[in-house]
Amino acid sequence: MTNFNPNGAATEESGIFGLPFTKEESSLILMPIPWEATCSYGSGCSEAPRHIYDASKFVELYDIDLKEFYMKGISYIEPNSDIHMLSKKAVELAKPIIEKAGIIDSDPKLTQNRIEIDNMCKKMNEFVFENVSNLLTEGKSVGLLGGDHSVALGSIKAHLEKYPNMGVLQIDAHADLRESFEGLKYSHASVMHNVISETSLKKLVQVGVRGYCQEEYEKSEAMKDRIVTFYDSNIFEKVALGDSWSSICKEIISNLPDEVYISFDIDGLEQSCCPNTGTPVSGGPSYNQALQLIMEISKSGKTIIGFDLVEVACGYQGSESWDAIFAGNLLYKLCGCMMLSKN
C-alpha cells in the first residue's frame, strides 16, 4: 500500500484503476483475452484490454453507491502473448472465408482454413476455461476482458462447474444464437448457441437484443424454458406506455436464479457509449439504465458470481479514446456491483 492515495493520481507502478494490489492480495482477478478471430465487421477488440487498462488509471475510485469496495483487492493478469498471436493467425485465415460470407463450397484451401480456425477457437476457450477454473479454485472472483464475444464460452463453462445452478444475464444488441456464422462454428455470433448446446445452463436472460435473424428468433421461442429474451423494441414500447425502467429491471431480475453471471457485450448499449464497437446496432439501453439493472441485481439478494466485458474497440485513439475510458468506468462498476452482491 506504499504511496497509494485513493484521492490522488495513479502512480506509474500501480495496477488497474491505479490500485496497488497483487494477485495474491486480491479477491477479484481481471483476465484479458486479446482475441478477435471471427470479427465480421469492425475490428480492433483484441487490442481493447491494454487500452482499457491504461484508461482505467483515470477512473475515480470513490463511488457513492459502492463506497470503498476496491479495498478487497482487484488485480489484472498480463495478457497471454500466445493467445494474442493465435488470434492474429486465425484472423488471417478467416479473412477470405468472411469475404465470401462463409460460402466456400468445395474450396479445399478455405475448407482447411475453417477447420484450423475452429481448432484455434477451441484452444482459446480451453485456455480460458482452465485459467478461470484455476482462479475459482483458489477462491478468487473472475472478470474476463475481451476480445470478441466468443471468449465468454470458456469462462461460462468454468463458472458452471462451480455454480451449476447459475444463470447468465446477456446484455447485447445481438442474440448470438446462430448455429454458425460465415461458416465458423465458434463465431462471436454463435457464442450463446454454443453455451446452450455445450453446457447444462438452465437460464439465459437476454436484454437489449435488436439484431437477430429468423433462426435465432425461432430458437429463442422454442426454448423458452431456458432462454428469455427482452427485445429492445418490446422494452421501449413498455417505457413509451408508461412502465418505469425500475419495474422493467425487476421483471428481468425475476427471471434470473440466485447466482448470476453477466455477459456484457458493449454493443448492447446505445452506440454513443462505444462508437468504435465492431457490430453496432441502433437503439439500446443507456449506460445509466444498464447500471441500474446491474445495481438492482446486486441489491436483490442474488449474487453476481462472474462476468465478461467484450467487443470494446478503441479506434485510432487507443487508450485515449472515449471507448477506452467509457469501458474503464463500466468495468469498474461491474467489479463493484459483483463485490457488493457478495457481501
Contact yes or no for 331/185 (Cβ under 8 A): no
Neighbours of 110 (CB within 10 A): 20
Which amino acid would we find at residue 31? M
Domain residue spans of the chain: 16-341
pLDDT at 99 (0 to 100): 84
Measured distance CA(33)–CA(76) in Å, rounded: 11
Q: What average pLDDT does the chain have?
A: 94
pTM for the model stands at 0.96
Which amino acid would we find at residue 219? K
Q: 209-240 pLDDT, tens per residue?
A: 999 999 999 999 999 999 999 999 999 999 99
In this predicted structure, the answer to whether residue 11 has a pLDDT above a threshold of 80 is yes
**What CATH architecture does domain 16-341 belong to?**
3-Layer(aba) Sandwich (3.40)
Confidence band, pLDDT 50/70/90 cuts, at residue 180? confident
Cα-Cα end-to-end distance for the chain:
23
Element counts in the chain: helices (H) and strands (E) = 10, 8
Displacement of CA 336 from its chain's centroid (Å): 16
Q: 32-77 pLDDT, tens per residue?
A: 999 998 877 768 899 999 999 999 999 999 999 998 999 999 999 9
Confidence band, pLDDT 50/70/90 cuts, at residue 103? confident
Residue 213 neighbours by CB under 8 Å, 6+ apart: 178
Cα torsion through 185, 188, 193, 199, rounded to 10: 90
Burial 236-249 (b: 16+ CB within 10 A, else e): bebeeeeeebeebb
Confidence band, pLDDT 50/70/90 cuts, at residue 130? very high
Residue 240 neighbours by CB under 8 Å, 6+ apart: none
pLDDT at 159 (0 to 100): 98
In this predicted structure, the answer to whether residue 129 has a pLDDT above a threshold of 70 is yes
In this predicted structure, the answer to whether residue 1 has a pLDDT above a threshold of 60 is no
